[in-house]
Amino acid sequence: MNREILIKTARTPALALLGLLALLAINTGLAYAPIAQQLRLSVKLTICFGMAFTLMVFCMHLHRATGLLRLAAATGFAWLAIMIGLMLTDYFTRVPVPPPW
Amino acid sequence: MNSSTADLRARGLIAEQFDDAGQQHATAQFGMWVFLATEVLFFGVLFAGYAVCRARDPEAFLLGSQHTEIIFGAVEAGILLLSSATVTFAVNLIKFDERRVVTALLAITALLGVTFLVLHGIEYSHEYDEHLMVGVDFAQHGPHARGIELFFFLYYAMTLYHSLHVLVGVSVIGTMGVLVWRRKIRSGYTTPLVLAGLYWHLVDIVWIFLFPLMYLIGR
């Protein structure tokens, strides 16, 4: 294989892989870090979103996709955020009303 | 109509409603992304269930997670990330008609997927030995026993659905390898491989979220 082609095609996945493995290692290491559970969860989820973003942009080629494709990619996550957001809002704010009898 | 389009149409690779391969490729990619959005929602319902159940009994989820094997989960995550890189490399390389290398990369990707499934099977067998198999052999005691059972119910539901997706992905990637080897997919007609790659990456993304929520809490 031509060296130029190899560099051109392998550079992005190789760099993305290194970044993703580093984030995975940080996330795994955080499990043993002496920080509060809630804060730890927030940091872990932030790293997860960072990993998903890296994968979508560089491996799923969203960085050179059309606006329509980017919109379609964002739609699933937007609906998911709405679903989980509304559900948890209801769950955490609902006041149980005992039956009158 | 240029010669490439005419050739692809003659081989039956461009459907009649499309003007050319580029238009068909763009349409197929858009359709795939919409499908992936429905997959995100499919797993999203399970993640939403996880959020509510964990909010009801957070202590039980921390205790339940301590029974999972973090080494297995981390290695499986690494395997899927590596497989995402190999499939991306294959998708990039197909444009240069490097048939042998692309076939080898797809074979490696499928093999990594099979390794993931084998490791997960070993994990399940360990959990069976520890009497953690909900509905089959579950023996946990104490005030959080019901909550731990709920954690493991979600753990099996989510990881089994995910493994099913990996299995489908392995089959699809394997098929792509055969098609590339037979020159059915090559530069000028890469759509099936690009779509298969997108599906494989989604499987990876789901595990990126499953791993910390199932294995890394309560350590």
Question: How much is the pLDDT for A35?
Answer: 84
A48 & A75 share domain: no
Within 8 A by CB and 6+ apart from B20, the residues are B1, B2, B5, B14
ipTM metric: 0.91
Q: Consecutive 10-residue runs of chain B (219 residues): their mean pLDDT?
A: 76 88 94 96 95 92 94 98 98 94 98 98 96 90 92 97 98 98 93 97 97 91
Does residue B123 or residue A2 have the better pLDDT? Answer: B123
- Is B216–A88 a contact, with Cβ atoms under 8 angstroms apart? no
Domain count, chain A: 2
- Please state the rounded mean pLDDT for residues A58-86: 94
Q: Which residues in chain A have Cβ-Cβ distances shorter than 8 Å to B216?
A: 27-28, 30-31, 44
A34 & A13 share domain: yes
- Is A68–B201 a contact, with Cβ atoms under 8 angstroms apart? no
Distance from CA of A20 to the nearest CA of B (A): 7
Residue of B55, B77, B198 lying closest to A24 (CB–CB): B77
Does residue A16 or residue A1 have the better pLDDT? Answer: A16
Smallest CA–CA distance from A15 into chain B, residue = B85
Residue A1 has pLDDT above 90, yes or no: no
Within 8 A by CB and 6+ apart from B151, the residues are B53, B54, B60, B61, B63, B64, B65
- Is A28–B70 a contact, with Cβ atoms under 8 angstroms apart? yes
Report the distance separating Cα B84 and Cα B201, nearest Å. Answer: 6
Radius of gyration of chain A (CA): 20
Quickly state the pLDDT bin for A101 (edges 50, 70, 90). Answer: confident
Tokens 């890469």 belong to residue: B190
Report the distance separating Cα B160 and Cα B207, nearest Å. Answer: 12
Question: How much is the pLDDT for A87?
Answer: 92
Question: How much is the pLDDT for B87?
Answer: 98
Question: How much is the pLDDT for B23?
Answer: 93
- Please state the rounded mean pLDDT for residues A94-98: 86
A28 & A5 share domain: yes
Per-residue pLDDT tens digits for A4-44: 899 989 999 999 999 999 999 999 999 888 888 778 889 99
Question: How much is the pLDDT for A20?
Answer: 98
Q: What SS3 state is found at A99?
A: coil
A48 & A14 share domain: yes
Structural domain contains residue A101? no
Quickly state the pLDDT bin for A96 (edges 50, 70, 90). Answer: confident
Smallest CA–CA distance from A52 into chain B, residue = B205
**Is residue A66 less than 8 Å (CB to CB) from chain B?**
yes
Distance from CA of A100 to the nearest CA of B (A): 25
What are φ and ψ of residue A100, in 5° steps?
-70, -5
- Please state the rounded mean pLDDT for residues A61-86: 93
CATH of B36-215 given 3.30.70.360, 1.20.120.80, 1.20.120.1760, 1.20.5.510: 1.20.120.80
